[in-house]
């Protein structure tokens, strides 16, 4: 194992925090540089699912047709703000190119390796009290109102069972009424993934922060990296709004904002911000006992120990920071269609986050092709929380020159 020396991790999200932790474990002196507040971007208000069941990439056969159809409805949770943005249209074109069975299966296997590794790591971190985040392993329930849609999932279940060894349990509407009293009667049924877990994302980030600081890390907030200064194929220092910072090695873990650093990285970073929303509130009286997704409305419900969250929506609207009330209404309406007690006032937080979306649904976990001492860990799409710990472990292994515990090839940045 190589001595990794001093490392600056750019970005204080869940991916940056995980990289920092695993690098510290290998003896690195770590500084995290965060443009705003540690843990306050996309890693703050997400749905908190740690879900190895989400192995299939978003780009799958038929995805374009079903998305276009859904977008015709004014209540669609998916939208693209029409505009002249070459990068967005190239992204969409490449997304369409990946909507085939071969790419879906190859992507699925790569994602599964990272998801499984991350789940093992989370379980260890929780068991060893490294993080304290309201961890619960209670599964994830996909509830359907329409029989036809419930049954249509059969082929996906077959694929997941046979190819990925990730079978779901099917419940009838009657069984749902017996086991899940928070649901309104009359649902067609559900598919249940018993091995998924969930946590409270803001507690996780709080806990990571305390753990990293206790172990000697430095966290610099309100510190934006504006430039990566380089000579002879090495990153030498970072130009920030708080002056110049130097280190032996660097990790770029800047989520959806990574394209702003593209010109310094020597490679293409085709990441688009996929904006999602959530509402956080106290637990309703008749609270679901397990996390749920309502695929017909694309709304997710997370019953946390200390609260309750509704989340969803995918807007490709650039780096737009507004919170649209009509989007939040969709969350409430979606939950209302399925749950007896769908939400609870007062809402404590209305939130949005930019998911770092790549067109092939895979993250980038790789060394920069032009800077020998800089690694990139970004583009974790809709499941960055679920893939963060495996990513951190992989980055630390790559940087120390150790054999990676999973094959990093599918995550190479040169694939674009
Ligand atoms: C509604 C919603 C629900 C979701 N639900 C789930 C879920 O249930 N399970 C799951 O696994 N995932 C979920 N996700 C996805 C997940 O939240 C993201 O994939 C993940 O948070 C990405 O983490 P990150 O560390 O890469 O990015 P971020 O958390 O965005 O962190 C990147 C950080 O880098 C900083 N930064 C950027 N540029 C600079 C710079 N130049 N200098 C310094 N700092 C910089 C930013 O300020 C930010 O803090 C959800 C997302 C949304 C929006």
β-strand partners of 352 = 277
- What is residue 133's predicted lDDT score, i.e. its pLDDT? 98
Instruction: Tell me, yes or no, whether 145 lies in a domain.
Output: no
Question: Does the C-beta of 385 come closer than 6 Å to ligand 1?
Answer: yes
Establish if 324 belongs to a structural domain. Answer: yes
Ligand 1 centre to CA of 352 (Å) is 11
SS (H, E, C) 154-178: HHHHHHHHHHHCCCCEEEEHHHHHH
Place of tokens 């800077």: 371
In a domain, 177, yes or no: no
Residue 150: inside a domain: no
Atom of ligand 1 nearest to the CA of 256: 30
Task: Please report the pLDDT score of residue 283 as a whole number.
Answer: 98
pLDDT tens track for 193-228: 999 999 999 999 999 999 999 999 999 999 999 999
Asked if residue 24 is part of any domain, the answer here is yes
Q: Does the residue 152 lie in any domain?
A: no
What are the residue ranges in the chain where pLDDT is below 70? 1
Q: Show the tokens assigned to 241.
A: 């709004």
Nearest to 255 by CA among 80, 8, 12: 12
Q: Is 15 in the pocket of ligand 1 (CB under 6 A)?
A: yes
How far, in Å, CA of 184 to CA of 240, rounded?
Answer: 53
**Residue 369, number of CB atoms within 10 A of its CB:** 14
281: domain CATH number?
3.50.50.60
**What is the reported pLDDT for 74?**
72
DSSP string, 59-99: --TTHHHHHHHHHTSTT-SEEE-----HHHHHHHHHHHHT-
| Amino acid 149: pLDDT | 96
**Does 353 fall in a domain?**
yes
Q: In what order do the strands lie in the sheet with 249-252?
A: 218-220, 29-33, 6-10, 249-252, 374-378, 364-367
Q: What is the pLDDT of residue 76?
A: 82
Domain that residue 408 falls in? 6-139+195-415
Q: Is the CB of 9 under 6 A from ligand 1?
A: no
| φ, ψ for residue 72, nearest 5 deg | -70, -20
pLDDT score of 169:
98
Atom nearest to 378 CA in ligand 1? 26
Q: Is the CB of 209 under 6 A from ligand 1?
A: no
Task: State whether the beta carbon of 33 lies less than 6 angstroms from ligand 1.
Answer: yes
Is the CB of residue 228 less than 8 Å from the CB of residue 264? Answer: yes
Q: Is 203 in the pocket of ligand 1 (CB under 6 A)?
A: no
Q: What is the pLDDT of residue 69?
A: 76
Ligand 1 atom, smallest distance to 302 CA: 8
| Distance (Å) from CA 220 to ligand 1 centroid | 18
In angstroms, the CA 143 to CA 295 distance is 7
Nearest-angstrom CA–CA distance, 395 and 406: 11
Measured by CA distance, the residue closest to atom 25 of ligand 1 is: 13
361 lines ligand 1 (CB under 6 A): no
Task: Among 50, 206, 380, 384, name the best residue to mutate to test ligand 1's pocket (greatest count of ligand atoms within 8 A of Cβ).
Answer: 384
Tally of domains in the chain: 1
In a domain, 183, yes or no: no
């Amino acid at each position: 194992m190589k001595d990794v020396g001093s490392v600056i991790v750019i970005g204080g999200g869940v991916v940056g925090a995980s990289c920092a932790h695993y690098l510290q474990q290998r003896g690195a002196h770590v500084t995290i540089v965060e443009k705003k507040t540690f843990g306050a971007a996309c890693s703050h208000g997400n749905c908190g699912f740690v879900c190895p069941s989400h192995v299939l990439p978003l780009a799958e056969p038929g995805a374009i047709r079903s998305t276009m159809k859904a977008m015709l409805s004014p209540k669609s949770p998916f939208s693209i703000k029409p505009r002249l943005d070459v990068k967005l249209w190239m992204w969409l074109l490449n997304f369409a190119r990946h909507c085939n069975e071969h790419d879906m299966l190859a992507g699925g296997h790569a994602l599964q390796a990272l998801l499984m590794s991350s789940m093992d790591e989370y379980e260890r971190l929780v068991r060893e009290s490294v993080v304290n985040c309201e961890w619960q392993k209670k599964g994830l329930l996909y509830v359907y109102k329409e029989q036809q849609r419930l049954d249509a999932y059969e082929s996906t279940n077959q694929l997941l069972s046979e190819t990925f060894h990730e079978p779901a349990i099917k419940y009838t509407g009657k069984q749902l009424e017996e086991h899940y009293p928070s649901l309104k009667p009359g649902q067609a049924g559900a598919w249940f993934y018993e091995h998924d877990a969930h946590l409270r994302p803001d507690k996780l980030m709080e806990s990571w922060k305390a753990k990293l600081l206790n172990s000697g890390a430095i966290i610099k907030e309100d510190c934006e990296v504006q430039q990566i200064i380089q000579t002879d194929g090495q990153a030498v220092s970072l130009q920030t709004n708080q002056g110049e910072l130097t280190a032996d090695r660097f990790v770029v873990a800047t989520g959806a904002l990574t394209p702003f650093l593209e010109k310094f990285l020597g490679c293409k970073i085709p990441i688009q911000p996929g904006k999602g929303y959530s509402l956080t509130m106290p637990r309703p009286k008749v609270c679901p006992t397990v996390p749920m997704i309502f695929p017909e409305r694309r709304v997710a419900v997370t019953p946390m120990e200390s609260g309750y969250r509704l989340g969803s929506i995918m807007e490709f609207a650039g780096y737009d920071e507004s919170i649209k009330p009509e989007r939040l209404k969709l969350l409430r309406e979606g939950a209302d269609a399925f749950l007896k007690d769908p939400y609870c006032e007062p809402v404590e937080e209305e939130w949005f986050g930019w998911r770092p979306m790549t067109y092939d649904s895979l993250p980038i976990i790789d060394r920069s092709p032009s800077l020998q001492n800089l690694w990139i860990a970004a583009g974790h799409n809709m499941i960055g929380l679920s893939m963060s710990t495996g990513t951190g472990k992989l980055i630390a292994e790559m940087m120390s020159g150790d054999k990676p515990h999973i094959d990093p090839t599918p995550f190479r940045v040169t694939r674009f």
